[in-house]
A and B are shown apart, each in its own frame.
With several copies, the nearest count.
Chain A
Amino acid sequence: MKFTFSDEEEAFRAEVKEFLKDYQDLNGFFDQGHDWPSVREFFKAMAAKGYLSVCWPEEYGGLNKSASYEYIVWDEVAYARCARPPLGPGIVAKTIIRYGDDEQKKRWLKPLRDGEMHFSLAYSEPEAGSDLASVRCRAELKGDKYIVNGQKCWQSYAQDMDYFWLLCRTGTQESRGRGCSLMIVPKDAPGITVAPLPLMDDDQLNEVFFDNVEIPVNQRIGPENGAWKLMNAALADERHIQFPPSRLRRDLEDVISWTRDQGLLDDPVVRNTLGDLASQVLEGEVLGLSVLDAMMRGEHGVMEAAANKVAQTISCQNIARAVTEFGGPESLVKGTLSELIWRQSMWETIGGGTSEIMRGVIARNSLGLVAKT
């Protein structure tokens, strides 16, 4: 048993840390929406180091490393608060590598690897949030093109991205998850409108409207009506980097530092709270490693990832809420980390699978409970 990384991995981490030194002022983890040009440059620099394609096979220009290297990259990037893992070189590229045809691989993989091409996830709809199998946005095949009509909602970063990774209905509504396909849709295609939904954390989500948007059939990835399998595989590819635990560690370190500045660090009640939060961060770190470990052993890590998601996102809220509790009005001033994470972390237990959905996953798969409702 070993909870630490190999010397080679640690050497790689040191290299990543060295690289990140130049980006200490980049706040893309919390604020990509306001600083996309800088984050884009950062991704390009990462690409130059091969960091966007750490786990890709060599034949597609990747470093062909194990998942642990990818974990290290995004955990350090999270600690440095520079960015969150981008969709394109992650889910999109890995799906193309696994299910795309040769032409698709040739066309898309290089710009993705180079950080030149960025994607927004277009899964959710106003009436299909947790329940994605009920999506209604429709793609109808006419000749060699799909005609897409419908609406997507709650799209992160859509305002800045170049493409959508679109989940749409190609079968009947009743066929649920068995009637959906995945497509690559350029944002500048005629018929697309993006409308911002400003958020309480000063970022934004977006609504996206598709009005007779034409998509060449060769921009469908994988078989028609085959989206579900691709989506599950893509989830599996990203479980270990969905919630990097060093985000928690950095939150707590920053909160402790703020608490010290406020002269509150020796208050026994505050101390009691911080001690509890410290154990939560340690829990988050081993849960994160558990996901990685499962993947390194070739398992799916579904349970580990669900546990990791629930526990870490709640701990992340606990940190934010604790400091606004003991920190009084000072902790609520805009510009303090505590105030920002109070607002920002509200999203963490919702996006990427709500805590309720995740608890259901554990109840069903790990405890054998039906828990359908």
Chain B
Amino acid sequence: MSLDLTFSDEQAGILDAIRKFTKERCPGETVRELAGKFPTELWAELAELGVLPIATEDGGGGALEVVAAMEALGAAVFPGPLAETFLATQILEGDELQEVGAGESIVSLSAAPRGDALSLVPWPEQAKVSLQIDGTNIYRCKTVGSPEMVTSLGGDPYGRVKLERTGEVKNAARGLALFDIAVSAYMAAAGDDLVEVTAEHARTRKQFGRTLGEFQAVAHPLAESSIALSASRTLARAAACAFDEGRDDANGLAAGARLSARKSALFTVYASHQIFGAMGITLEGPVYHVSRRIRQLSSAGASVAVAHEEALALFGINAVSA
């Protein structure tokens, strides 16, 4: 078999099924309303679809199935710790894995804090599995004391709390690679969704007697977005293939996909806000619930510096000797 960049029928089926599900259950209004809350019902319904454990031995799929799911979920800006859950399915076992896959156990992933500072932890009140990234390592943690709740740009509840490490996770690299793949597919799809609504606006809204889309200052940034996002989307798929084939370059491609997706999705966020003008900055408008989520996701996972190192490893550079 040679090159083939299309989803298998089964993968396309996953994408379609979730699209159908999100269209019905997770329109823009719902995403806006859910800001600040855990999407309890949606999460249970998504779990019922069998998506969460799909990349496990019993799940019947791999990273490509995750990508198919995340492309549909990203296009709907579906809430909740999606990529974190896929990560967790690569490092948990037994009952814990079962519970996460069933949507009964929520996963929280946070970055190691500086020195003695408190950790900034998403979903501190819901999470049963608390993970901490430090460089390319992942630690299991328990929370000490109760979190001081804050709100973050993306809308998810976060808490500042002390985390105590209870052990290091074995296959962190695999987990982080799947996280990167999943979050890239999601961000690229969310960006595509923005391009689509913005292009629709540009096709219809008139100023100075012509549609916005007739102005190159509008059309060209959107074209650039579309190009950049198609690269990101395809790179996430390529990384997923490498992951599923167990290839050496999977981690580097996954990191590259995340670097690519965060850049192209953020570029799209800024272009869409600008083109929508005042309409784009309203709370109920078509942009903000997407843009806040993209901005938040683009800071999730291992640091950008770590991603750079992994991508550079594909060009024969070893990690910096610092």
A339 touches B153 (CB 8 A): yes
B227 touches A271 (CB 8 A): no
Interface string of B253-288 (1 = CB under 8 A from A): 101110110010010001001100110111110001
Residue of B nearest to A334 (CB): B151
Contacting residues of chain A (148-196) with chain B, CB-CB under 8 angstroms: 153-154
Interface size on B, residues (CB 8 A): 95
**In the complex where A200-B292, A271-B320, A372-B214 touch, is A296 in contact with B281 (Cβ < 8 A)?**
no
A356 touches B292 (CB 8 A): no
A200 CB contacts on chain B under 8 angstroms: 281-283, 288, 292
Residue of A nearest to B200 (CB): A368
A283-B4 Cα distance, complex, nearest whole Å:
17
B1 CB contacts on chain A under 8 angstroms: 2, 6
A2 touches B308 (CB 8 A): no
A253 touches B2 (CB 8 A): no
Contacting residues of chain A (79-129) with chain B, CB-CB under 8 angstroms: 124, 127, 129
A372-B220 Cα distance, complex, nearest whole Å:
11
A227-B75 Cα distance, complex, nearest whole Å:
42
**In the complex where A363-B213, A366-B223 touch, is A286 in contact with B228 (Cβ < 8 A)?**
no
Is A293 part of the binding interface, using a Cβ–Cβ cutoff of 8 Å?
Answer: yes
B222 touches A363 (CB 8 A): yes
Q: Which of B86-94, B95-103, B124-132, B231-239 contacts A (4 or more CB under 8 A)?
A: B231-239
A283 CB contacts on chain B under 8 angstroms: 228, 231-232, 235, 256, 260
Q: Could you tell me the distance in whole angstroms from the C-beta of B110 to the nearest C-beta in chain A?
A: 8
A271 CB contacts on chain B under 8 angstroms: 305, 308-309, 312, 320
A359 touches B217 (CB 8 A): yes
B3 touches A68 (CB 8 A): yes
A124 touches B214 (CB 8 A): no
Is A263 part of the binding interface, using a Cβ–Cβ cutoff of 8 Å?
Answer: yes
Main secondary structure of the interface of A (DSSP, over half): helix
A3-B315 Cα distance, complex, nearest whole Å:
18
Residue of B nearest to A200 (CB): B288
Interface string of A305-317 (1 = CB under 8 A from B): 0110011000001
A350-B213 Cα distance, complex, nearest whole Å:
17
Q: Could you tell me the distance in whole angstroms from the C-beta of B136 to the nearest C-beta in chain A?
A: 14
Is B299 part of the binding interface, using a Cβ–Cβ cutoff of 8 Å?
Answer: yes
A268 CB contacts on chain B under 8 angstroms: 305, 320
Is A16 part of the binding interface, using a Cβ–Cβ cutoff of 8 Å?
Answer: no
Is A252 part of the binding interface, using a Cβ–Cβ cutoff of 8 Å?
Answer: yes
Kindly name the residue among B115, B260, B283, B322 whose own CB sees the greatest number of chain A CB atoms within 10 A: B283
Is B40 part of the binding interface, using a Cβ–Cβ cutoff of 8 Å?
Answer: no
A367 touches B226 (CB 8 A): yes
A350 CB contacts on chain B under 8 angstroms: 273-274, 277-278, 280-281
**In the complex where A262-B114, A286-B231, A360-B223 touch, is A3 in contact with B195 (Cβ < 8 A)?**
no
Residue of B nearest to A262 (CB): B114
**In the complex where A262-B114, A271-B320 touch, is A307 in contact with B311 (Cβ < 8 A)?**
no
B308 touches A278 (CB 8 A): yes
Interface size on A, residues (CB 8 A): 91
A329-B220 Cα distance, complex, nearest whole Å:
31
**In the complex where A127-B206, A266-B321, A367-B226 touch, is A359 in contact with B220 (Cβ < 8 A)?**
yes
Residue of A nearest to B238 (CB): A3
B210 touches A373 (CB 8 A): yes
A205-B280 Cα distance, complex, nearest whole Å:
12
Contact check: which of B257, B295, B308 meets A272 at CB < 8 Å? B308
A370 CB contacts on chain B under 8 angstroms: 210-211, 213-214, 219
Q: Could you tell me the distance in whole angstroms from the C-beta of A338 to the nearest C-beta in chain B?
A: 9
Q: Which of A45-53, A135-143, A231-239, A340-348 contacts B (4 or more CB under 8 A)?
A: A340-348
Contact check: which of A256, A282, A289 meets B316 at CB < 8 Å? A256
Residue of B nearest to A371 (CB): B219
- Chain A to chain B: the 8 pairs with minimum beta-carbon distance, closest first: A275-B308, A369-B213, A371-B219, A279-B259, A283-B231, A363-B219, A362-B223, A282-B256
A-side residues, CB < 8 A to B, are 1-6, 9, 66, 68, 124, 127, 129-131, 153-154, 197-201, 205, 249, 252-253, 256, 262-263, 265-266, 268-269, 271-272, 274-276, 278-287, 289-290, 292-293, 296-297, 306-307, 310-311, 317, 321, 324, 328-335, 339, 342-343, 346-347, 349-351, 354-356, 359-360, 362-363, 366-373
Known: A276-B308, A370-B210. 6 other contacts (CB 8 A): A4-B241, A256-B316, A266-B321, A331-B299, A333-B152, A371-B220
Pick 13 A–B contacts, CB within 8 A, sort by A: A2-B5, A131-B208, A200-B288, A256-B315, A328-B299, A328-B303, A329-B152, A330-B120, A333-B150, A360-B220, A362-B226, A367-B226, A370-B210
